[in-house]
Homo-oligomer: A and B are copies of this chain.
Amino acid sequence: MRNCLIAQSGGPTAAINATLAGIVKANQLNKFYEKIYGALNGLEGIFSLSLVDLTDMSELENEILIQTPASALGSCRYKLKKDNPLDFEKIFAVLDRYDIETMFYIGGNDSMDTVASLDQYAREHAIKGHRFVGCPKTIDNDLMHIDHTPGFGSAAKYIASTALSTWQDYSVYRRREVFILETMGRDAGWLAASACLSGIVDILILPEVAFEKAVFLAEVKRCLEEKNKCYVVVSEGCKYADGTYIAAADSADDSFDHAILGGASGALKNMIIESELSLRVRVLNLSNAQRCSVTDLSKCDISESFELGKYAHSCSTDKSFSGKMVALRRKQQEEYEVEYFTIEADKIANFVRSFPLEWVLPNYRGVSNDALEYMRPLIKGSIKILYEDGLPAYVKPYYLR
């Protein structure tokens, strides 16, 4: 019996630890690996031999891990240097040293690129005995070939719930007022669109639709004339037709060449103030809170994320299984249900799935019923949260122990 290793990478979500917990639990129920190692801070932990032993995680720790937001193993944005074999050699040396049969990598499309590259390197160099399995996660819901991504449902539930609550709040005064909610999502509008599940969004600005200031202001004016109020939701990645973000990037690019976004709501606020449509404009940029809120976890999301972990473990017992990502798709039937399948990691890597244009209503008026029907099951159900002194109980991050 050999060992396995799990690492987490990319931006954390509120569900990424459920997948980790699922892999660990699956091995306890159906022992295939002697030891389960966790690498701290993704690839960095492999390079630095910073590993923890997760094999005998207690039932209680597993339960609390499931409800703990953000990567409990830590994360990294380190990108493999593909044209330089040094990174690969180092990784395979560590896998040999710890007798790792399978490496599970939980992450987004950059992480699937890592899975595909490691698998390809092994094949090209005829290295036997190590296999690579990807588990998806991203709140952005922008991975190809998967019905939706683990982490999206909980973020969507938090966003829609916050939209509903802040709408109740900003509505109480009769005065003219605009509220602007800003979500993450990079170049995909899924998260912003999820706010429409609340039923209160007047104007929705997605990255998929080129931003036109005049149309936007005309819509704000129409809402204010109709009811003195206007609730706007904007995605951080919104752009003008020429591709420039409506928010000036507020910092340098990160090492993945993703622009660090944020500030679209402030830009819209300034447009409204300058146009004198309303003097009162409240802004809420959900920032990191949208990917780590635990009291709004979606039961659907957490269950599926956990199951994907178990499924990944199960797939990995097939000795020819490598270079693939586990995924889920919706069954073609009335009632919502998913089935799990696998797909080559290189079909996921470096692609982005946009929010479908056919689901976007004209003039920023939100999304179609088809979009709502797609999203609604994903935010269904709540999980019972364990508390400690009035706050959700979390495992202490392994990288800080």
Give the interface of A toward B (CB within 8 A): 8, 12, 41, 44, 68-71, 74-77, 157, 160-162, 164-166, 168-174, 179, 197-198, 251-252, 279-280, 282-289, 291-296, 298, 376, 379-382, 385, 387, 389-392, 394, 397, 399-400
Contacts and interface: CB of A to CB of B under 8 A. Distances in A.
Contacts of A291: 169
Contacts of A44: 174
A169 B70 contact: yes
What 10 pairs between A and B have smallest CB-CB spacing? A379-B390, A295-B295, A165-B292, A70-B168, A75-B172, A169-B292, A284-B287, A70-B169, A380-B390, A71-B172
A391 B156 CA distance: 10
Most buried by B among A69, A74, A394: A69
Contacts of A173: 41, 74-77
A289 B397 contact: no
A169 to B, nearest CB: 4
A171 B69 CA distance: 11
A387 B285 CA distance: 25
A295 B389 contact: no
A378 to B, nearest CB: 8
A68 B172 contact: no
A287 B283 contact: yes
A246 B4 CA distance: 52
22 contacts: A44-B174, A69-B168, A69-B169, A70-B169, A74-B172, A74-B174, A76-B173, A77-B173, A161-B392, A164-B391, A164-B392, A165-B294, A166-B289, A168-B292, A169-B288, A172-B397, A179-B288, A283-B285, A284-B287, A284-B288, A284-B289, A376-B390
A391 B197 contact: yes
B76 A174 contact: yes
Contact of A198 (B75, B295, B391): B391
A280 to B, nearest CB: 7
Given A157-B390, A391-B198, A394-B168, A287 B282 contact: yes
Contacts of A197: 389-391
Nearest to A252: B279
A70 B382 contact: no
